[in-house]
Amino acid sequence: MGPLHGVKVLDLSRFIAGPSCAQTLADFGAEVVKIERPDGEDARHHEPFYEGESVYTMLYNRNKYGATLDTRHPKALPILESLVRWADVVVENYRPGTMAKMGLGYERLKELKPDIILVSISGFGQTGPLSKRALFDAIAQASSGLMSITGDEDGSPTLTGTYIADYVTGYQAAIGTFAALMHKMRTGEGQQVDVASLDSMFSTLGTRLISWLMLGQDMPRSGSRDLLTAPVNVYECADGDTYIQAGTNSLFPKLCRAIGREDLLASGEYDTVPARMANAALLEKAVADWARPLTCEQVGQVLDDAGIPFAKVATVPDVAASPQIAARGMVVETEHPKLGAIRMPGNPVKMDKSPPTVRKSPPLVGEDNEHVYGTILGMTPEQVLQLREDGAI
């Protein structure tokens, strides 16, 4: 029984941002019903597959009851309206205006359930000149400025190696839902939570954004270098790469002593952050010359003894086998009805009183139709069978 035990969520979303938001709510104890087309949402047809099931889909749908419904079928709207009356929260990531076309705009939802919380996740938000445009993760990275600051200074703008816009937007939507539930607890009022991928990515631009807004400085791409201190970069070792962060006033002297370059301290030329930034290439060469003949383990031992932050640049197989990841419970296992034991990332939030849990595997297409339509909505087996024969579910 997590902190959201008793909260009922209707998940009408697909792909990543919406489903990950609803999954976060489910991890914390909410009862989540996911609705998808009778043949499964689009993401179920995305690789990679494991014995015919999309692993992509499994990442964002654990702890949910899975039911199918053709939302364009004549019998669909009354069913959706019944589910809205049951729910406390509705999560959707259609293009703005789609819910209204379905007959389920926010005003109608409030008629069905006056205190409903509608979580609307979209590319550009419910308002503004771009609100009706479609968006996927890469478009958010491009339009937000994130792509322009990713990559080497003399290279091309680059996507990040994961769907960072979708993940951040899903987390922001979950935060908004938690806040809306707290407001409802105090006042009894529901509300619409409007979260846009563009806004979410814009909020992550950090120092580069404030430098432009306040100083008029458009900072160039910096590759693996730190924006603000030096020497900070990735360094080649004899058997791999290690990232070293030693650019602050307290860490730089430790680094110089650790690599046997006390002369860099004695000169006094590099005592300040601006001086080190101005001579970043020279300082990085000194570190690179030291690290190159050593193994990553040898470099790590020296830096660890000196109290300098570092990390071997891990591959995905490396980090998946990490004892630290294991100790943090970040790989969890659940029993899938078709595939048996499956493994997936755990929830990164740790709590000692009401932690998130994994209670149910990602559902097969329509796996919980009888539970959703029979137990939750109170339909008879004959009614459920008729819906199936009619092609509604």
**Residues 31, 159 share a domain:** yes
Note whether residue 100 is domain-resident.
yes
Domain boundary among 268, 294, 314: 314
Residue matched to tokens 């990950």? 20
State how far the Cα of 370 lies from the Cα of 125, in Å rounded to an integer: 35
Note the pLDDT of residue 281: 95
- Tell me the CATH number at 374: 3.40.50.10540
State how far the Cα of 81 lies from the Cα of 37, in Å rounded to an integer: 17
Q: Which structural domain, as residue segments, surrounds residue 305?
A: 232-314
**Residues 171, 30 share a domain:** yes
Annotation says 390 is catalytic? no
The residues facing 332 across adjacent strands are 344
225-234 LR contacts (CB < 8 Å, sep 24+): 225/280, 228/273, 228/277, 229/273, 229/276, 229/277, 230/276, 230/277, 230/279, 230/280, 230/283, 230/284, 231/255, 231/276, 231/280, 231/283, 231/284, 231/286, 231/287, 233/284, 233/287, 234/313
Domain boundary among 314, 334, 362: 314
State how far the Cα of 193 lies from the Cα of 179, in Å rounded to an integer: 9
Total domains present in the chain: 2
State how far the Cα of 132 lies from the Cα of 264, in Å rounded to an integer: 57
Both tokens of 11, joined, read: 């998940």
**Residues 195, 81 share a domain:** yes
**Residues 299, 263 share a domain:** yes
Q: Is 307 left (phi over 0), alpha (psi -120 to 50) or beta?
A: left
User: Measured between alpha carbons, how far apart are the two ends of the chain, in Å?
Assistant: 30
Note whether residue 350 is domain-resident.
yes
- Exactly one of 11, 27, 137, 166 is catalytic; which is it? 166
Note whether residue 147 is domain-resident.
yes
Note the pLDDT of residue 1: 82
Note whether residue 223 is domain-resident.
no
Note the pLDDT of residue 373: 98
Give every CB contact of residue 49 below 8 A, 6+ residues apart in sequence: 55
Nearest CA among 172, 95, 107, 92 for reference residue 135: 95
Q: Are 120 and 194 in contact (CB under 8 A)?
A: yes
State how far the Cα of 31 lies from the Cα of 323, in Å rounded to an integer: 32
Q: Are 247 and 235 in contact (CB under 8 A)?
A: no
Note the pLDDT of residue 104: 97
Note whether residue 282 is domain-resident.
yes
**Residues 107, 161 share a domain:** yes
Nearest CA among 86, 117, 100, 101 for reference residue 22: 117
| pLDDT per residue of the chain (393 residues) written in tens, 0 to 9 | 899 999 999 999 999 999 999 999 999 999 999 999 999 999 999 999 999 999 999 999 999 999 999 999 999 999 999 999 999 999 999 999 999 999 999 999 999 999 999 999 999 999 999 999 999 999 999 999 999 999 998 999 999 999 999 999 999 999 999 999 999 999 999 999 999 999 999 999 999 999 999 999 999 999 999 999 999 999 999 999 999 999 999 999 999 999 999 999 998 999 999 999 999 999 999 999 999 999 999 999 999 999 999 999 999 999 999 999 999 999 999 999 999 999 999 999 999 999 999 999 999 999 999 999 999 999 999 999 999 999 999
Q: Are 64 and 360 in contact (CB under 8 A)?
A: yes
**Residues 304, 188 share a domain:** no
